[in-house]
Chains A and B, each alone.
Chain A
Amino acid sequence: MSEQERIRELEAQLAHAEGIIQALRDHEVDAIVGKENVFLVRLRQAEEKRAMLAAIVESSEDSIISRDVNGKVTSWNVGAQRIFGYRPDEVIGQPITRIIPSELQAEEATILERVLRGESITHYETVWLAWDGRRIPVSLAMSPIRDATGAIIGASKVARDITERKQAEAALRASEQFNLALLNSLPAHIAVLDAEGTILGVNEPWLRFARENGDPAAGRVSIGVKYLDICRRAMQAGDVLAGQALTGLEALLRGEQNHFDLEYPCDSPEQARWFLMQAVKPPPAVGGAVVTHFDITGQKHADEALRESEQRFRTMADAMPQLAWMGHADGYIHWYNRRWYEYTGTTPQQMEGWGWQSVHDPLLLPGMMERWKAAIASAETFEMEFPLRGADGQYRRFLTRSIPLKDDQGRVTQWFGTNTDVEESKRAEAALHELTQRLTYHVDNSPLAVIEWGPDMRLTRWSGEAERIFGWKAEEVLGKRMEDFRWIYTEDSPGVLGVSAGLQDGTTPRRLSLNRNYRKDGSVAHCEWYNSSLLDGSGKLRSILSLVLDVTERMEAERALQEAQVKLQAHAAELETTVARRTAKLQETISDLEHFSYAITHDMRAPLRAMQGFASMLEEECGEVLTPPSREHIRRIKTAAVRLDWLITDSLNYGKVVRNQVTFEPVNLGKLIPEIVETYPNLQPDEADIETAGPLPVVLGNPAALTQCFSNLLINAVKFAKAGTKPRIRIRAEGAKQAAGSREPEPARGNQEPPLVRIWVEDDGIGIAQECQERIFRLFQRATATHEGTGIGLAIVRKVVERMGGRVGVESQEGQGSRFWVELRAAGEQKAESRNQQ
């Protein structure tokens, strides 16, 4: 420190000291600050004060007493008497300790010691005793008493009864705690400002908000800070709202307005937030302002949600097919949806309030008004059907419903109403009614009985036909269960119950059943039941409908028919037995006859040989002596004998064919026919030209019978050649189907029949007259007398072919050759097998 500075310092100290001295001299000092204590200075007007003091002492409410250094009471004022109950004469000269509780006497002594050293004690709170032992809390001030020389001769004690104050303090503390707790529990952030805008106090949420929003120590906005400065700085940083807050607060603090509100956004990093700042003037005694910030984010969201909800409602209301409207509690309608204006063709101006009456039927309006006003008065839901006039001038019926919206107290705040067009549904209802009537008529007149059961299996429908079939009237059975009256035939009951169960649980929702029922008169009816059950979505039974056909007559007819059939069968069996018996007898007879004819035929040969032999012998022995006519007779005898021999041989063959059992096997005609040709001399190439065209099939037949058949056909072909020509014979085969053009119609054959093959034997001989073609296959029938023959050959052919399941025929014209055909079964491997087994 420089000399100059040191001098300035000393001058300052001097001025300082002079200031103190001046103040003391001017009696403008009331305390001297010591190194360890403060001494109050009351120098001025000491004398006046003493007199005043005496008066004050006497009139004081406080207890004012004094004591000497030895602890004896030296003065006792009225206040002391009032508080402690002792009269002055009772305590003056007595030890002061009698009013001090024993446990506090040591403390009293210590304090007294300080006072006697010259110290003053103020606001010392302790407890003294009243005369009756009550403990009285007192606030104590003690000062030394000095004599004129300044020596301490005692102590004065001013004691104030602070019982009430203690109580009040306790109450105040509690109240303050309560208020503080209250303030801290408020969601609002609250600060109290003094008249200069300095923050005097804040609640906990205020601090918490500061800490959570970038001011961890909450130092920027806590007590002692000038709130207006904060606003001002924010405004200077460009925050317009802070400027508004500043203006508002300043106006409030100047007393120009009592209230100031400001809404402002203050987003946190996580979400958008809004706050409402509110400043109010506190009671005049306090001054300044109370500033609160409310977080109104929730309210904002709610407002937003409300707006959206209302928007949604409008959109929905405009989209709905009904006409809709809203009215005030008194029925004044203030809003209609778009559909209303579209339908009525009106404008909002026309409709506002009670304008809707113009679209009502004037005749019906008074009645409607009466009910609508009654609904408004009673605040009850209104429902009514009436016509409304559309834009086209036509009235349509609407069902109108109006619901009162009520507040918490049950007061109507709004009416919300809709008008639903029921014109179509009314028509549909009428149509439905008519349809139902028609159905009921048909059900009642159906030739089938119509019976219906409800969900509880009680009868709900019993048509006229049901009455006719069963005899019970509808009123006798409706509402009953089927087991409630004697209706189900006892024996059929289990089956009926099974059907019923299946219908009820839906396992067999459609069923045809046949069972017997009792009629009312106890007789039995056979009935066919066509049942169907209707279940609802959850599988619960709604109804079972049965159509019943009385089949009693049919059943009886069937039974009669069955009986007749049984009788017929018995009769047929009897007949069959008779036939079999007679057939056996007939066969026996035939067999006898056949044996007889065979025997005759066989036995006839012996005399024939004799005739032939003797005729030959006669010719040889007497040839020369006989006249030519006689020789001619002998020749005729011989010729006749030869013919008779043929006849006998053929008859024997025919008999064999007829009599013998024929077995079938595959026979290769390609082998069989050449063998036949080789066997007969007149079939040799020098006698006839026999040509086989193409391969011949394997057929199913008997080799011997087939040999007989084809040899007869070939020999006939050679025999009936034109005179003087060498016969030409052609043998060929074709599928039977290619023979469809034959004169005889094809008999119907089963699919299992093996296919037929047709074998043709064609010659260029004399041919057969058309009229003879039928009979040549019969026994002893001949087409011509010009050739030798017995009339048995072709009969044998037909017989054997037919026995092998085939047919035979001829195509011919006189003089143009004959074409015989034979149809035989082709032998496939399997077919041969099955045929053999027969």
Chain B
Amino acid sequence: MKPGGKGSKASAPAKGAARYRLQLFVAGNEPNSQLARENLKRLITGVLKDNCQLEIVDVLKDFKTALALNVLVTPALVAEWSGTRVTVFGTLTDTHKVLTALRLPSNPP
């Protein structure tokens, strides 16, 4: 698990630092990408309570990173923590799906 190992090391410099390292892959300002951004922001300020570190990657500018993570369509959210990596594709409108992927409890809609 090369990327995960590296990520956890870099993102946990001290106690209390972000648990999740998040990468949101978008295609410029395309509508779905825009929607995904907004949904993720709501999740971060809400459920995740800043307990994460976010990087947004625009595939129109850099698609190599996406390829490396096997992200073939956008928008897509790649979350890494403790050597685990999950990828959620789509606009992230389905909060339940996202939280399940992040192994976080959620109240079913």
Contact = CB atoms under 8 A, between A and B. Distances in A.
11 contacts: A22-B89, A28-B75, A31-B33, A31-B73, A33-B71, A33-B72, A34-B63, A37-B63, A38-B74, A40-B30, A233-B14
A23 interface: yes
B32 interface: yes
Interface in A220-271: 226, 229, 232-233
Interface string B64-98: 00110011111110000000000111110100000
Given A27-B32, A232-B14, 17 more contacts: A19-B87, A20-B73, A20-B89, A22-B89, A23-B76, A23-B90, A28-B32, A30-B30, A30-B32, A30-B33, A30-B75, A31-B27, A33-B67, A33-B74, A35-B67, A38-B60, A122-B60
A26 interface: yes
B73 A29 contact: yes
Which DSSP category, helix, strand, loop or mixed, fits chain B's interface? loop
Interface of A: 16, 19-20, 22-24, 26-35, 37-38, 40-41, 122, 196, 226, 229, 232-233
Contacts, number: 78
Nearest to B31: A30
A31 B30 contact: yes
Nearest to A195: B50
A580 B93 CA distance: 172
A253 to B, nearest CB: 12
Contact of A33 (B31, B50, B66, B91): B66
B14 A29 contact: no
Contacts of A40: 27, 30
Given A16-B87, A19-B88, A38-B60, A24 B73 contact: yes
A819 to B, nearest CB: 146
Interface of B: 13-14, 16-17, 25, 27-28, 30-33, 35-36, 50, 59-60, 63, 66-67, 70-76, 87-91, 93
A22 B30 contact: no
Contacts of B67: 33, 35
A29 B63 contact: no
A22 B90 contact: yes
Contact of A29 (B60, B74, B87, B88): B74
Contacts of A41: 73
A200 to B, nearest CB: 14
B27 A38 contact: yes
A229 B18 CA distance: 12
Contacts of A35: 67
A713 B25 CA distance: 173
Nearest to B89: A23
Contacts of B59: 31, 33, 38
B75 to A, nearest CB: 7
Nearest to B25: A33
A28 B71 contact: no
Name the 9 nearest CB pairs between A and B, nearest first.
A31-B27, A30-B30, A28-B90, A23-B89, A23-B90, A30-B32, A19-B89, A29-B73, A28-B91
Contacts of A38: 27, 59-60, 63, 74
A667 B66 CA distance: 160
A229 B13 CA distance: 10
B72 A32 contact: yes
Contacts of B93: 28
